[in-house]
Amino acid sequence: MENAARKKVMLSGIQPSGDLTLGSYLGAIKNWAERDEEFDNYYFMADMHSITVRQDPAALRRRTLEQLAQYIACGLDPEKNTLFIQSHVPQHAELGWVLNCYTMFGELSRMTQFKDKSAKNSENINGGLFTYPALMAADILLYQPDYVPVGEDQKQHVELCRNIVQRFNGIYGDVFKMPEPYIPKVGARVMSLSDPGAKMSKSDKDPNGSIYLMEKPEDILRKFKRAVTDSDTENCVRYDPTNKPGVANLMTIYSAVTGKSFDEIEQEFAGKGYGAFKPAVGEAVVETLRPIREEATRILGDKAYLESVYRAGAQKASYVAEKTLRKVYKKVGFVAR
Ligand code: ATP
Ligand code: LTN
């Protein structure tokens, strides 16, 4: 900000609440890795968000480290990206509290993710699940990013963060930079393979709907062969999300992993039908995920390396986050320590 040559900042996070899916990759991580030269980047494991839904402690710890290995395997070089674990940077909780006091009950009540998750976890609708977007706004604003690369489903939370910026800056002056959501053109909303009406999700109870980054090729191929296509009699690969949502989803995935346009895909499979199309999508996904799986497995074996990455990441992130937090504490009237 002070410096005109300052690189633009990108920031995003994913909850280690389940194994990463093709949706998390195409909707988010792939876009992070493609731009890491151009931007100053912060990517984290949102473990504090994960506990809004009950987690098995050992599984949460394991998945947090696996997620870090997968970030690196997807191309996020720790030399060019600050990779850290959210709970290692206490400023997230600290700013999260302040922003809770600038986020309205009505705004939080409108969040689709809150409604979905409280319907799915009706025995545990806790305060954290409700105020989650205030913590997410803190995650973002501590680093003053220009862009927040996420899938379509997170747009509403980034919009709420923008409202908080407007409210807070309206009272105290120019404290926070206004962040923009950055949503990919293809892959912003990858749907379940078994239910094209629902988002592919890592906490989906039906394992046939989701493709996991670490999954074996034969399982991936089997899931694509069984993917729900449409009950029309046409048996023709054509992009029509309203009438043919299953085929449109497979076309989106194929386009995102091969770079081919929908027109090119329609031509490639003209006269061939779903029987040829579905395994082709499966093969393309297998080839995209193969190097990621192999590299993540290798990195996971090197615990000392992973530790050095998350320690250095937390140190760098804390340094930046603390600057913003001090400014905020001063503005709201806390006595300096
Ligand atoms: P959970 O089931 O634990 O809520 P999730 O699988 O829905 O998780 P998130 O952790 O909420 O995924 O999302 C991680 C990132 O990936 C976010 O930026 C989100 O927008 C993106 N993303 C997740 N699922 C999809 C999807 N199906 N299509 C496109 N982007 C997605
Ligand atoms: N809410 C997001 C994860 C998340 C995030 C963030 C994304 C937490 N904090 C900050 C971008 C920026 C999710 O559930 N996918």
Question: What is the sign, positive or negative, of the torsion defined by CA atoms of 164, 167, 171, 174?
Answer: positive
CATH number at residue 290: 1.10.240.10
Residue 4 has pLDDT above 60, yes or no: no
Residue 213: pLDDT band by 50, 70, 90 thresholds?
very high
Mean pLDDT, residues 274-284 taken together: 96
Q: How confident is the model at residue 203 (pLDDT cuts 50, 70, 90)?
A: confident
Ligand 2, closest atom to CA 14?
3
Residue 149: predicted pLDDT: 94
Report CA 47 to chain centroid distance, whole Å. Answer: 13
How far apart CA 73 and CA 268 sit, in angstroms, is: 31
Give yes or no for residue 294 having a pLDDT over 80. yes
Is 322 among the domain residues?
A: yes
Look over the chain and give the mean of its residue pLDDT values, rounded to a whole number: 95
Mean of pLDDT values over 210-230 = 95
Two structure tokens written together for 221: 């191929």
Verify whether ligand 2 is closer than 6 Å to residue 139 (CB atom).
yes
Predicted pLDDT of residue 72 = 97
Positions marked catalytic: 117, 199, 202
State yes or no: pLDDT of 323 exceeds 60.
yes
Residue nearest to ligand 2 atom 2, measured at CA: 14
Report whether residue 24 contacts ligand 1, using a CB cutoff of 6 Å. Answer: yes
Provide the 10 A C-beta neighbour count for residue 118: 15
Is 156's pLDDT higher than 70? yes
Q: Residue 148: CB within 6 Å of ligand 2?
A: yes
Q: How far apart are CA 166 and CA 19, in angstroms?
A: 35
What's the total number of domains in the chain?
A: 2
Provide the residue range defining the domain that includes 287: 217-296
Residue 88: the pLDDT is 98
Identify whether the C-beta of residue 131 lies closer than 8 Å to the C-beta of residue 160: no
pLDDT of residue 235: 83
pLDDT at 186: 86
Please write the tens of the pLDDT for every residue from 112-131: 999 999 998 899 999 999 99
Instruction: Decide if 68 contacts 45 (C-beta within 8 A).
Output: yes
- What's the CA gap between 191 and 241, in Å, rounded? 11
For residue 162, being part of any structural domain is answered with yes
Residues 173 and 230 in one domain: no
**pLDDT tens digits for 39-95?**
999 999 999 999 999 999 999 999 999 999 999 999 999 999 999 999 999 999 999
Mutate to test the pocket of ligand 1, among 11, 12, 14 (most ligand atoms within 8 A of CB): 14
Asked if residue 255 and residue 173 are part of one domain, the reply reads no
Question: Cα separation of 265 and 254, whole Å?
Answer: 8
Residues 292 and 308 in one domain: no
Q: What residue owns the CA closest to ligand 1's atom 16?
A: 24
Instruction: Give me the pLDDT at residue 107, please.
Output: 97
132 and 110 within one domain: yes
**Res 307 pLDDT > 80:** yes
99 lies in some domain: yes
Q: Is the pLDDT of residue 3 over 60?
A: no
Percent of the chain at pLDDT exceeding 90: 88
The terminus-to-terminus CA distance of the chain in angstroms comes to: 26
Full DSSP string of 286-336: HHHHHHHHHHHHHHHT-HHHHHHHHHHHHHHHHHHHHHHHHHHHHHHTPPP
337 in any annotated domain: no
Residue 154 has a pLDDT of 96
Same-domain pairing of 324 and 225: no
Reduced to 3 states (helix: H, G, I; strand: E, B; else coil), residue 42 is strand
Beta bridge partners of 85: 45
Given a cut of 80, is residue 231 above it in pLDDT? no
Residue 263 and residue 311 in one domain? no
The amino acid at residue 267 is Q
Dist. CA 336–CA 329, nearest whole Å: 8
DSSP 246-282: HHHHHHHHHHHHH---HHHHHHHTTTT-HHHHHHHHH
Question: Which strands sit side by side in the sheet containing 40-45, from one edge to the other?
Answer: 81-85, 40-45, 9-14, 147-149, 180-182
Residues 6 or more apart in contact with residue 311 via CB below 8 angstroms: none
Q: What is the pTM assigned to this prediction?
A: 0.94
If asked whether residues 176 and 226 sit together in one domain, one would say no
Other Cβ atoms within 10 Å of 82 Cβ, number: 22
Mean of pLDDT values over 89-109: 98
pLDDT computed for residue 289 by the predictor? 97
- Dump pLDDT digits (tens) for 15-37: 999 999 999 999 999 989 888 88
8 within domain boundaries:
yes
Specify if 119 maps to a domain. Answer: yes
